[in-house]
Amino acid sequence: MAFVLYLLLGACAGVLAGLFGVGGGIIIVPVLVFSFTLQGFDASILTHLAVGTSLATIIFTSVNAIREHHRRGAVRWPIFAWMTVGILIGAGFGALTAQAISGPNLQKIIGVFALVIAVQLMLDVKPKASRTVPGKVGLTLAGGVVGWASAIFGIGGGSLTVPFLTWRSVPMQQAVATSSACGLPIALASALSFMILGWHDPLLPAHSLGFVYLPALLGIALTSMYFARIGARLAHKLSPRLLKRLFAALLFCVGLNFLL
């Protein structure tokens, strides 16, 4: 039954990713926390296991997104390259930061993040394009911050990278495409860091590679890649304003659930 839940979660995360243009991590993490709690996993490690597993699933979902955006010529590869340098470093430090935080406190931090994103979507807060794209050092530093935060929250970084790039006068289409490309190194570096950091933890359940739970990873990966395309098709048929409000309401409930 748990594996069926992971298949359904992957489908839901894929649809949401396609609909709202964000990674499914912000949805995957809380559902995995709920599922792992019901399965009786130790409370001290289940949040870290949920975050690490979420990051590993983004590896699979981001590949299709990168191919599609590259086909349309929308990825700014020089920006991607220098941000990736920072992402690889920041993701490792982010995983270390997450490991140093207790499970309950990590849930509260993720809850606050979900509420912030919900408010941003509800109020449609967007940074105005006011500066040009920074140089190599600036992009590397920005990538470091994005990688660090993404590893803590278990996300692909789109909610951070897109606003940064649009603020730096990158057109929205290119910002979304480049952000999608950045999701792959974020997921790879972060997931690998969580695997290494949790490798010898005696509290981990069977079928875990460090803080990555393989049955959940397999179930989510199998369905999320296919359903992301369905979500993208739906996004062209439904009102963008309605979609944002519905997603904001969902994130608001997620955030409150983690904080209360």
Helix axes 158-167, 172-197, angle to 10 degrees: 140
Residue 194's nearest CA partner among 75, 77, 59, 36 is 59
CA distances from 198 to 54, 89, 108, 191, 194 (A): 15, 18, 21, 11, 6
Round to whole Å and give the CA distance between 159 and 119: 12
Round to whole Å and give the CA distance between 85 and 143: 7
Round to whole Å and give the CA distance between 219 and 11: 9
- CB 198 within 8 Å of CB 52: yes
Residue 33: CB atoms within 10 A of its CB come to 26
Measured in residues, the chain has a length of 260
Per-residue pLDDT of the chain (260 residues; tens, 9 = 90+): 788 889 988 888 777 766 665 666 778 888 899 889 989 999 999 999 999 999 999 888 777 778 878 888 888 999 999 999 999 999 999 999 999 999 889 999 989 988 988 888 788 777 777 788 999 999 999 999 999 999 998 887 877 888 899 889 888 888 888 888 898 999 999 999 999 999 989 999 999 999 999 999 999 988 887 887 777 677 667 776 777 787 788 888 888 888 87
- CB 258 within 8 Å of CB 30: yes
Round to whole Å and give the CA distance between 228 and 24: 10
